[in-house]
Amino acid sequence: MTPTPAERAAQLRKQIEQHDYRYYVLAEPSVPDAEYDRLVRELQALEAEHPELRTPASPTQRVSGEPVAGFATVEHRVPMLSLRNAFTEEEAVAFDRRVRERLRVDHEIAYTAEPKIDGVAITVTYENGRLVQAATRGDGVKGDEVTRNVLAIASVKPRLAGKPPALLEARGEVFLPLAGFQRMNEQARERGERIYINPRNAASGSLRQLDPAVTRERPLELLFYGVGAVEGGSVPGSQSELIGMLRDLGLNTNPETKRVEGIQGCLEYHRALHARRAALEYEIDGVVYKVDDRAQQERLGYVSREPRWALAHKFPAQEEMTQVAAVEFQVGRTGALTPVARLVPVFVGGVTVSNATLHNADEIARLGVRIGDTVIVRRAGDVIPEIVKVVADRRPPHARKIVIPARCPVCGSAVVRAEGEAVARCTGGFTCRAQRQEALAHFASRRAMDIEGLGDRIIEQLIERELVRSPADLYALTAADLEGLERMGEKSAAKLVAAIDRSRKTTLPRLLLALGIRDVGEATALALARHFGNLDKLMAADAATVEQVPDVGPVVAAHVAAFFASPDHRRVIRMLRERGVHWQDVRRPVGPLPLSGLTFVITGTLASMTREAAEEQLVALGAKVSKSVSRKTSYLVAGADAGSKLAKAGELGVRTLDEAQLEAILSSRSPPAEAADG
């Protein structure tokens, strides 16, 4: 049973708190960083979609890691915040765009780029140049006092050089160099003691020793990258100059830190450092970008537990070697056969991996991979691991070539691979059980035919009992048919029959989306409906005619034409009509639509209609409907309980409409007065 948003949020918070405890307190992580990041991102997305679920105690609103027992607790003068993560260059580019939009500049921004050392964040307080206190980040507000242990680190200066401020909180990272980590683990192995899984946890464990003498034996290092509170002295106006100031005071800073121009400078730095990653003396998991101008940092401010002016751009996950034991082919909704390598289990990036995607036949050929080969596996983010290289000199004599099956492994139908395409496909269509399950779920989804209550488990039972072979069969179901299913009583069956009946009346764009034509999403379905007006004209069109639709290229046009040329698909459409499914045709617009060029965002709850219905009507009038507010947004429609989008619209100066004003636009089929005048 799918949990409600509130239940899922509670599950995520509990999991994240457990992982925080193991990571920060025990120094024994149970999941890799990629898995932890996934949980946090899922919670962030859930809270963004349901602002009422966000609480001050949520892990998304605070820095992870509570103080541990055995150390005094220190309250930071200035909170120690965490950083937003990016895993792709596109996300980094989006960060730069947000920075420039908020600063309202169209020129490049200067950044300071530095390695993201995988260690323990620390704050060291100097009063009149003398080290008086050191503390871990903890939960960002309070941390553990580890002054004696930090003083035990050989490279730490107990007194600053030059003329320091009266009070200076220097922020940095405690870490273990790789050579020292390996030596420490070798000695521990010889003594039969605990072996640390990675340098970060070894550094954390070393810093949290109750006996500073033990810490002194560990080869810890500390590099500084910023400041917290500063009193009785001035701080340079840029991040890069600040690093120079810390260096002049005798504090160790990272020589890899560099001032770069614009996001391209950041990305070039990221690529260059990633290429040298293996040659570095310490473990890094990415790069940190910071807006160089500290006045701009102040203007950008903070959101939740993160500064808006900084970003951690992560590197791809680690790689490992293993063997390909077998290859199986999975069949998806569109009939695509995806080869999946079954691997000899291997520990990669903190998890045991036993499967990896091979994508398609072209990828198999490119890699030259065979069953029995030793391969390098990479776990990139949260997606299924992939094979990136074959270790050719380890190929055994019995290695076998991977052959795409001639018949579908699910239904036995012929498998074809169109000329110029990398993907092989089952031709079974709705007759293929693998495609049928996914196709029916897609058909019933909220954005398609919107059959409430028709979930995966019910669809699975309908297919198992041969009650449904195609979407048209849904409209022949009776309450008696449904009452025989598991967990389906008389009332539930009646409700589902009623939901199916309601879905008989729909629109042409929704029907086109529901049919599951390859590469036809909501926007393309709407474009097709607008261009042809009715389904019969679309079904009669060849690929060249379909390609005349705006924004439809030759590949999509070929998919559309092939779909409607299929006798099986035509039979399903005929049966849908015979069973009472009817759809509203689209009047082909003459000239520009009244809301063309305007972008709307809808937030909160509408009383007179659903948000989906409002979006459909706006799009029908030519508007674009977006999920997020930006400077390009023309209007924000705010219903009841509007959340963060309303606040952002106010910040950006985006005009807000209430529900009555939206209804006036829809009924008059015209934009607001000032938009029409302008």
Q: Catalytic residues, which ones? A: 116
Q: Are 435 and 332 in contact (CB under 8 A)?
A: yes
Angle at 536 between CA 533 and CA 540, to 5 degrees: 110
Q: How far apart are CA 315 and CA 340, in angstroms?
A: 25
Question: What is the secondary structure of 233-302 as a DSSP string?
Answer: S---SBHHHHHHHHHHTT--B-TT-EEEEHHHHHHHHHHHHHHTGGGSSS-EEEEEEEESBHHHHHHH-E
Chain-centroid distance, C-alpha 20 = 20
Residue at token pair 């401020």 = 165
**Residue 321 β-bridge partners:** 376
Q: How far apart are CA 674 and CA 669, in angstroms?
A: 15
Task: Name the token pair of 188.
Answer: 């521990």
The secondary element (H helix, E strand) that includes residue 140 is: none
- Tell whether the torsion through CA atoms of 578, 581, 584 and 588 is positive or negative: negative
3-state SS, residue 488: coil
- Tell whether the torsion through CA atoms of 265, 270, 275 and 279 is positive or negative: positive
Residue at token pair 């048919």 = 481
For residue 276, how many other CB atoms are within 10 A of its CB?
A: 11
R_g (Cα) of the chain, nearest Å: 30
- Please name the residue ranges forming H helices in 404-534: 433-444, 456-464, 479-483, 490-502, 508-514, 522-532
**Residue 311 β-bridge partners:** 84, 289
Q: Please, which contacts does 380-385 make with residues 24 or more away whose CB atoms are closer than 8 Å?
A: 380/316, 380/317, 381/34, 381/38, 381/87, 381/316, 381/317, 382/34, 382/35, 382/37, 382/38, 384/340, 384/355, 384/356, 384/357, 385/348, 385/353, 385/355, 385/356, 385/357
Q: How far apart are CA 80 and CA 58, in angstroms?
A: 17
Helix, strand, coil content of the chain in percent (nearest 5): 40, 20, 40
Task: Name the token pair of 18.
Answer: 């457990």
Residue at token pair 């019910």 = 458
